[in-house]
Amino acid sequence: MTTPAGPAGDRHIVGHSGAASVAGVGFANTGIVDGDVTIGSIGYIVSPFPTEPPTVPASSSPSRFLDARWQVVPFHGRDEELAELSSWRDGTATRAVRLVHGTGGQGKTRLATQFAIASAKAGWEVVAVRPSGSPAATGTPAQRPAGGWRGLLAIVDYAERWPSDDLRKVLNEGLPGRSGGPVRVLLLTRSVGYWWMSLTHELDTTEVRTDELELKPLADTDDERQTSFALAVAAFAEKLGATGTVNLPAPQLHGEGSRLVLATHMAALDAVTAHVDDRAAAAAGRPAHPARAAPTDMIELSVNLLKREIAHWQRLHDARQIAVNPSTMARCVYIATLTGPRPRAKAVRTLRRLGFDDAGQAVDDHAMCYPSELGKTVLEPLYPDRLGEDFLALTTPGSGVARHLVDPWAKKAAKHLLTRRRDGNPPAYTPAAVTVLIETARRWPHFAADVLYPLLRKHPELAKLAGGSAVARLAAIPDVEISVLEAIETVLPKDRHVDFDIAIAAVDHRLTAHRVGVTGDPAERARLYVRSAQRQSNAGFHEGALTASSEAIPVLRRLADDDPDRYVAGLADAIDLHGIYLYYTRHAAEALATGEEAVRLFRRLVESGRVELLDGLARALANVSVRYPAEASESGLRAALEAVEIQRTVGADVRLGLYLNNLVIMLSRMGRDDEALDYSREALEIIHAMAAADSSKWAPDLARHLTVTGRQFAALDRWEEALATATEAVRVESRLVEANRALHEPDLAEALNFLSNALTRLGHREQAVTAGMDAVAAYRRLNGAGDATLRYDLGTTLWRLGLNLTELSRHDEAVSRLTEALTIFRELHRSSEASGYQTPIASTLSILTGCYLALGRHDEALTAATEAVSTFRALAETDRERYEHRLAGALYGLTAALWHAGRHDAALETAREMVARHRLLVETDRTADPSALARSIHYLGWLLSALHHHDEALAVSEEAVERHRDMYSAAPGAHEPELANALDTFATVRLAAHRDLDAALEAAGEAVARFEQLAATGDGQIDDWLRVARETLAKAAEEVAPATPPAGA
């Protein structure tokens, strides 16, 4: 017989809304042949992954020994990461994608190579995927195991460099594989950006699981650094044929970057090459080099390595292996570090434009020293990045370090390199080059003053081409020249722009501080502060906005007192904005009072004849409407309605959509969801149109209103429409987070939370888990330990994630999430005077009860169930309508826990109470769930039979079948498993009582037939139930028609 499923518990904590549209992405089923495969028109290459490193000539330039491709230093450490990757690879998912990210020099490529080697040994087919035009990976096709491949592991390095559409095509249109088994895709990247967030949410609509792994520093302690240093010394010494290096001391490095594995390897290479030089001098009878101090920071390491890099060029030139001299090679390296890899023909044109006499020879000689990873390109930059940046600075006059590296040519090289072409368009490498210039300038003041600042003063558009993040980093340079920022200000957007809001705020903050210090005009100071506050707020820096606004308001009040006709309207505007900043920084009472003052000022001006200020009145009314507390909702609703009415009169532009949004919020708060939905649709149509015309300006408003609309659909139980809206909201919010994570991450977390809720309501458990994990990650990044709202949101997201994991029988994972949620709810309850957290505490305990029972942790199950019932019982005494059904559900879990604890009589007593409460609910509440009553009766029947109360068990099990038939008739797809289980229990009860055996046989046969139909779905739980039902049927057949003894017995 089959025991009824675990406790239903409480599954109705209301989540927050979100939204976003998701396109389906999957893996095509195409074939692979040995060797490289270029996939049709998609333009990417699939090759066997190289598990053996290429041969590294000892004559290579020193910097090449640091290239991860060569694997000169043996892999070590990262045991935890390798174990986690192996667990991911061997998981149950059919298709999964994992992103491994970390800063340059952290060891991503080395980790991936080691994982590829281990996976190949474990029977996986391992391939590298590269863009078309790249050299294929140099691996040799592996021999297919006799039993076939366990699956396909595809590794995509530099994933952030792929165009997003191309990366989607890789996943959507074909990752070839011969295994027919699971597919794993490992993406390697330096950063997590919009491309990844967008991709994960597209994959969420499929059966593909996505997650990420951030690499932490490996050389994080003195012991780890010493171990890493010793291994690197031994490896470099072997490659260079050096002896006597065992006791080389590791330098004590300080400052930025010193914890990276790369820093330790650079120090080891420096020590070994210095040792080789000393040995060579001694062997040649030359005087020994004077003793030198060990490098203490990354700059000294860079200088030492660059000296050896130049010496390497000189040796090649002396041996006539390259034609260009070191001075010309240095210029080529300078250019390559800025431009990055280029096709040969374009590289030659670039060098000609910069005055190279034999550009083709220079390009070819540079390629000999620095062969490109991309194969068909030249001008491979000097790696690692930091070494390249230091080379730019040390080559430029004025560093005061390593004067022998200086070339006056370098002072103007960037200017000539970035000059617009004859067609008037900037070179394609401009964004990358400017970004490198800014990063170099951040650490080298002379480079900033002599190279970057003159260039950007004359050509500020170059900074804009580099993007908002680069401009913000430029503005953060402590002694950045004001004239440079003033020039850049002229080319930045004048209004809100999601890609440049942070940059605009950063530039404006520096300029405002300067300008208010030099102006003597109070009106101008106020204007500067008001504008600065708006720009800070647009970027999400609301505290900074409040500070700037607080400087402006007193000045404007004095001006308005002296000259009201001229300044009161400006004061009203500033006060309205000030209320917004107060609201965003959670000064609720002050925000409301300030908003009401703005309304009064505008109303007085309009009533005095200033009708042109009607739009200001509408804006102030809309802004203040959502600040009224619950007890004053009518006031908020009146303000929102008046704002909409005024705006319809003034003109139905995008502001009408925004004001309608606030009206929707107020109607929703008051429970008028049908009206709210009508207004919400009108608002969404307006804002959609505006966002389509200018997404950089209106996308934030679109995202917010999608969230609001999703809530309206959910409130009306229209979950399909809620899901569509939630999906689009997540897409839009993901794009916004890429531009400004600090500002938009809270909204993205909320949107993901609601998306998970919608997916849960519609039974899409796998996708709900993925969305829930993304939401949890977003809430964790917000680090809202001291923010009760964020903590509660994290708790509810973990709760729902635990619920979905439970439904997927992933009980260990569920317990981990649910116990964390329980901890959060308990902490919030202890720190709050209200009792509002008792419900989520009890609900979490109810679900934990079922998980503990599934894992055989019966004592913990009983403890959790007892507390859940006790809490819900107390809540039901004060609010029966709200909590009676939750108490009845918790009693189910307590019944099961008592039974497994061996307290059978107590379990039976609890089950009787459970049935009585469910029966009363169904009889008195039309919204009560009749299936909960049917399940509870079913469970009671099984308990009665197990405790030999056969007469009562017969009647109860019959009622259970009748009720389940009624449920099945109303919704066959949803209730057939429960009906089949009830039939199996009906038969088992009769077999135990030795009564109604014909009815038992008929019921058992029907149960088996239903389970056999359901088994086609591939659900493992159905298979278990079918096995038990067949055993029941066999026993019933034996009881009804005992086997006839063999003839002659």
Dig out the tokens for 131 from the structure: 């863009």
Q: How does residue 231 score in pLDDT terms, banded at 50, 70 and 90?
A: confident
1026 within some domain:
yes
Stronger pLDDT, 419 or 253, i.e. the higher one: 419
Q: Which of 226-240, 719-733, 790-804 has the lowest mean pLDDT?
A: 226-240
Residue 842: phi and psi, rounded to 5, are -65, -40
Give pLDDT, residue 1003.
95
Q: How far apart are CA 109 and CA 75, in angstroms?
A: 11
94 within some domain:
yes
Give pLDDT, residue 203.
64
- Residue 241 burial (CB < 10 Å; 0-12/13-18/19+)? exposed
Give pLDDT, residue 247.
74
Are 236 and 100 part of one and the same domain? Answer: no
Q: How far apart are CA 403 and CA 406, in angstroms?
A: 5
Please determine, for residue 679, whether its predicted confidence score (pLDDT) is greater than 70: yes
Are 42 and 187 part of one and the same domain? Answer: yes
Query: Coil, strand or helix: which one is 519?
Result: coil
Please determine, for residue 746, whether its predicted confidence score (pLDDT) is greater than 50: yes
Q: How far apart are CA 297 and CA 813, in angstroms?
A: 44
Relative to beta strand 37-38, strand 44-48 is: antiparallel
For 627-647, b/e burial (b = at least 16 CB within 10 A) is bbeeeebebbbebbbbbbebb
Please determine, for residue 890, whether its predicted confidence score (pLDDT) is greater than 70: yes
Q: How far apart are CA 33 and CA 424, in angstroms?
A: 46
Q: How far apart are CA 729 and CA 757, in angstroms?
A: 14
What value does the mean pLDDT of the chain take? 84
Q: How far apart are CA 882 and CA 12, in angstroms?
A: 11
Q: Give me the mean pLDDT over the 723-728 stretch.
A: 92
Q: How does residue 844 score in pLDDT terms, banded at 50, 70 and 90?
A: very high
Please determine, for residue 588, whether its predicted confidence score (pLDDT) is greater than 50: yes
Residue 907 contacts residue 943 (beta carbons within 8 Å): yes
1027 within some domain:
yes
Q: How far apart are CA 442 and CA 473, in angstroms?
A: 8
Q: How far apart are CA 252 and CA 229, in angstroms?
A: 11
> Where does a domain end: 296, 318, 335?
296
Residue 947 contacts residue 939 (beta carbons within 8 Å): no
Instruction: State percent of the chain over pLDDT 90.
Output: 48
Residue owning tokens 């007192």 = 561
Give pLDDT, residue 522.
96
Most confidently modeled range among 266-275, 649-658, 884-893: 884-893
> Where does a domain end: 214, 240, 268?
214
Stronger pLDDT, 237 or 786, i.e. the higher one: 237
Give tens-digit pLDDT for 88-128. Answer: 898 877 778 899 987 666 778 889 989 999 999 998 999 88
β partners of residue 131: 44
Q: How does residue 790 score in pLDDT terms, banded at 50, 70 and 90?
A: confident
Please determine, for residue 136, whether its predicted confidence score (pLDDT) is greater than 50: no
Give tens-digit pLDDT for 496-519. Answer: 887 788 889 999 999 999 999 999
321 within some domain:
no
Dig out the tokens for 672 from the structure: 């008028």
Are 178 and 259 part of one and the same domain? Answer: no
Q: Give me the mean pLDDT over the 672-693 stretch.
A: 87
Q: From residue 66, give the alpha-carbon distance in Å to each of 236, 266, 742.
A: 10, 7, 35
Give pLDDT, residue 244.
74
Q: How far apart are CA 808 and CA 913, in angstroms?
A: 29
Q: How far apart are CA 52 and CA 213, in angstroms?
A: 25
Stronger pLDDT, 481 or 830, i.e. the higher one: 481
Among candidate residues 399, 481, 402, 471, the one with its CA nearest the CA of residue 437: 471
Give pLDDT, residue 54.
61
Q: Give me the mean pLDDT over the 303-315 stretch.
A: 90
Counting the structural domains of the chain, the total is 3
Q: How far apart are CA 201 and CA 726, in angstroms?
A: 11
> Where does a domain end: 214, 244, 273?
214
Are 283 and 155 part of one and the same domain? Answer: no
Give pLDDT, residue 947.
95
The beta strands (E) that lie in 732-793 are given as none
Dig out the tokens for 765 from the structure: 């458990």
Are 207 and 74 part of one and the same domain? Answer: yes
Question: CB count, 10 Å around CB of 614?
Answer: 16
Relative to beta strand 151-156, strand 124-131 is: parallel
Give pLDDT, residue 783.
60
Are 292 and 148 part of one and the same domain? Answer: no
Residue 790 contacts residue 745 (beta carbons within 8 Å): no
Q: How far apart are CA 372 and CA 366, in angstroms?
A: 10
Q: Give me the mean pLDDT over the 671-687 stretch.
A: 88
Task: Report DSSP letters for 632-646, one per residue.
Answer: GHHHHHHHHHHHHHH
Give pLDDT, residue 36.
43
Give pLDDT, residue 651.
79
Residue 222 contacts residue 208 (beta carbons within 8 Å): no
Q: How far apart are CA 515 and CA 529, in angstroms?
A: 10
Q: How far apart are CA 813 and CA 820, in angstroms?
A: 11
Q: How far apart are CA 229 and CA 216, in angstroms?
A: 18
Among candidate residues 787, 752, 747, 748, the one with its CA nearest the CA of residue 773: 752
Residue 575 contacts residue 594 (beta carbons within 8 Å): yes
Q: Which of 217-226, 255-264, 1040-1049 has the lowest mean pLDDT?
A: 1040-1049
Residue owning tokens 């964390």 = 820
Among candidate residues 634, 629, 635, 564, the one with its CA nearest the CA of residue 599: 635
Stronger pLDDT, 663 or 165, i.e. the higher one: 663
Task: Report DSSP letters for 983-1039, one per residue.
Answer: HHHHHHHHHHHT--HHHHHHHHHHHHHHHHHHGGG--HHHHHHHHHHHHHHHHHHHH
Please determine, for residue 46, whether its predicted confidence score (pLDDT) is greater than 90: no
Task: Report DSSP letters for 825-871, one per residue.
Answer: HHHHHHT-SS-TTHHHHHHHHHHHHHHHHHTT-HHHHHHHHHHHHHH
Stronger pLDDT, 276 or 656, i.e. the higher one: 656
Dig out the tokens for 1027 from the structure: 């096995």
Q: How does residue 780 score in pLDDT terms, banded at 50, 70 and 90?
A: confident
284 within some domain:
yes
Are 240 and 205 part of one and the same domain? Answer: no
Q: Give me the mean pLDDT over the 25-36 stretch.
A: 34
Q: Give the CATH number, domain containing residue 115.
A: 3.40.50
Task: Report DSSP letters for 707-734, one per residue.
Answer: HHHHHHHHHTT-HHHHHHHHHHHHHHHH
Give pLDDT, residue 383.
81
Please determine, for residue 304, whether its predicted confidence score (pLDDT) is greater than 50: yes
Q: Give me the mean pLDDT over the 362-390 stretch.
A: 85
1030 within some domain:
yes
Residue owning tokens 């009314």 = 621
Q: How far apart are CA 772 and CA 748, in angstroms?
A: 12
- Domain of 1017? 957-1042
Residue 175: phi and psi, rounded to 5, are -105, 100
Are 188 and 48 part of one and the same domain? Answer: yes
Give tens-digit pLDDT for 341-355. Answer: 899 999 999 999 999
Relative to beta strand 183-189, strand 377-378 is: unpaired
Stronger pLDDT, 752 or 132, i.e. the higher one: 752
831 within some domain:
no
Are 44 and 172 part of one and the same domain? Answer: yes
Q: Give me the mean pLDDT over the 204-223 stretch.
A: 72
Are 47 and 90 part of one and the same domain? Answer: yes
Among candidate residues 1017, 1009, 1021, 961, the one with its CA nearest the CA of residue 985: 961
Stronger pLDDT, 73 or 795, i.e. the higher one: 795
Residue owning tokens 């670039």 = 350
Q: How far apart are CA 679 and CA 619, in angstroms?
A: 18
In degrees, to the nearest 5, what angle opens at C-alpha 326 toward C-alphas 321 and 330?
Answer: 120
Are 228 and 279 part of one and the same domain? Answer: yes
Q: How does residue 655 score in pLDDT terms, banded at 50, 70 and 90?
A: confident
Helices then strands, counting H and E runs in the chain, come out as 42, 9
Residue 455: phi and psi, rounded to 5, are -65, -45
92 within some domain:
yes
Q: Give me the mean pLDDT over the 118-147 stretch.
A: 72
Are 188 and 242 part of one and the same domain? Answer: no
In degrees, to the nearest 5, what angle opens at C-alpha 106 toward C-alphas 100 and 110?
Answer: 70
Residue 451 contacts residue 438 (beta carbons within 8 Å): no
Please determine, for residue 668, whether its predicted confidence score (pLDDT) is greater than 50: yes
Q: How does residue 723 score in pLDDT terms, banded at 50, 70 and 90?
A: very high
